[in-house]
């Protein structure tokens, strides 16, 4: 329980993105991002999962500060509905984070935790809005492509503001601005009904034997430090174990194919996912609201895929942390290799910086 008598530093802000499978946090001091962290959090097991994850974060994440919170964890099935999830997560933040807590309500700004229940429709899964709002301050016209472990946000930014036609998850699924596909947790069965293998097309097993994490791990795209979720069979992430899971998707055992065969199969699923994102982006861009040279701003664990999407769309790509935030916002030690984590944790960085700007 945080001590209410400990004042939060007015110059120290921690941004939080409390998700259903990860917690992300970003430390901002005097307007600059000093540290970022992501940790797995199986929130579907209940709020104690947040306690366990918080206990394992670096010390700075538990120190007195001003806290800015956004969330997607409200949609996990441990809550009765999204409004219940918003209220419970906001109350948890007020109890467990030492200092003043502000909850990001997107188009409505920041609200106090005790007002979260009444603003649930604005708060629920509004982390995309925070990232887009921050980018709009630096890039007046762009397509934000935030591809995470589970979902992808495709958000047009026009005149320095988020220009999404949808707001809720349901609305954005309808507009294509939310594509429920990611680079770690998406079952491969969600990407295709069949796949080519050794010169023939084969139907897939209707099982969650393998995920996109397996495909991108085998292709060498997914950095090990960002590959934080359990595998579908709860076994290891070595190349042989990954190939076993991919082989099962087409009813085979690993010894029935060569390493090159399994890489080609993984590449097929990667291409299928890219096509989903390309098709959704094409619908958004067909509105004609963005200039032809408006860049793709890439962030999330799947920013490598966002870069490929930008190439497919014929647009320049700019990494959120390395090319949009740095060097004015990132501390010098983060402007290099650490910028990757700042891009992965984009919404946490964004709510911290937005809160800092709000005074």
**Mean pLDDT along residues 318-341:** 81
| Residues ≥6 apart with Cβ < 8 Å to 283 | 175, 176
DSSP string, 94-162: HHHSSS-EEEE-GGG-EE-GGGTGGGHHHHTT-HHHHHHHHHHTT-SSEEEEEE-SS-EEEEEEETTEE
Which CA distances in Å does 203 have to 72, 200, 216, 270, 310? 34, 10, 21, 17, 30
Query: Is the distance from CB of 183 to CB of 222 less than 8 angstroms?
Result: yes
Q: Decide if pLDDT at 9 tops 80.
A: no
pLDDT band at 324 (very low <50, low <70, confident <90, very high): confident
pLDDT band at 8 (very low <50, low <70, confident <90, very high): very low
pLDDT band at 10 (very low <50, low <70, confident <90, very high): low
Q: Whole-angstrom Cα distance, residue 114 to residue 14?
A: 19
Task: Please write the tens of the pLDDT for every residue from 70-128.
Answer: 999 999 999 999 999 999 999 999 999 999 999 999 999 999 999 999 999 999 999 99
Task: Please write the tens of the pLDDT for every residue from 272-304.
Answer: 999 999 999 999 999 999 999 999 999 999 999
Task: Please write the tens of the pLDDT for every residue from 125-160.
Answer: 999 999 999 999 999 999 999 999 999 999 999 999
Q: Whole-angstrom Cα distance, residue 114 to residue 34?
A: 29
Q: Whole-angstrom Cα distance, residue 211 to residue 182?
A: 9
What pLDDT does 330 receive?
83
């Amino acid at each position: 329980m945080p001590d209410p008598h400990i004042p939060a530093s007015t110059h120290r802000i921690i941004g939080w993105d409390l998700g259903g499978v990860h917690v992300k946090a970003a430390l901002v001091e005097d307007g600059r991002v000093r540290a970022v962290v992501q940790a797995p959090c199986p929130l579907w097991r209940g709020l104690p999962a947040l306690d366990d994850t918080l206990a394992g974060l670096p010390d700075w994440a538990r120190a007195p500060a001003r806290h800015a919170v956004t969330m997607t964890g409200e949609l996990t099935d441990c809550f009765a509905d999204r409004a219940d999830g918003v209220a419970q997560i906001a109350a948890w933040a007020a109890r467990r984070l030492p200092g003043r807590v502000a909850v990001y309500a997107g188009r409505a700004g920041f609200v106090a935790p005790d007002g979260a229940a009444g603003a649930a429709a604005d708060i629920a899964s509004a982390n995309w809005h925070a990232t887009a709002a921050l980018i709009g301050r630096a890039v007046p016209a762009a397509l934000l492509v935030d591809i995470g472990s589970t979902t992808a946000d495709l958000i047009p930014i026009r005149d320095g503001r988020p220009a999404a036609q949808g707001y809720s998850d349901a609305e954005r699924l309808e507009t294509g601005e939310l594509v429920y596909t990611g680079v770690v947790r998406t079952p491969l069965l969600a990407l295709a009904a069949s796949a080519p293998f050794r010169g023939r097309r084969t139907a897939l097993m209707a099982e969650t034997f393998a995920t996109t994490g397996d495909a991108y791990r085998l292709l060498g795209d997914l950095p090990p430090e960002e590959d934080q979720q359990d595998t579908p069979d709860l076994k290891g992430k070595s190349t042989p174990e990954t190939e076993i899971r991919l082989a099962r998707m087409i009813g085979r055992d690993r010894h029935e194919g060569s390493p090159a065969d399994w890489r080609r199969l993984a590449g097929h699923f990667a291409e299928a996912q890219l096509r989903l994102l390309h098709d959704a982006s094409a619908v958004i861009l067909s509105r004609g609201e963005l200039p032809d040279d408006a860049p793709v701003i890439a962030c999330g664990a799947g920013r490598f895929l966002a870069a490929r999407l930008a190439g497919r769309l014929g647009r320049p790509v700019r990494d959120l942390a390395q090319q949009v935030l740095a060097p004015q916002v990132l501390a010098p030690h983060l402007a290099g290799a650490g910028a990757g984590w700042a891009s992965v944790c984009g919404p946490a960085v964004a709510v911290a910086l937005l809160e800092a700007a709000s005074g």
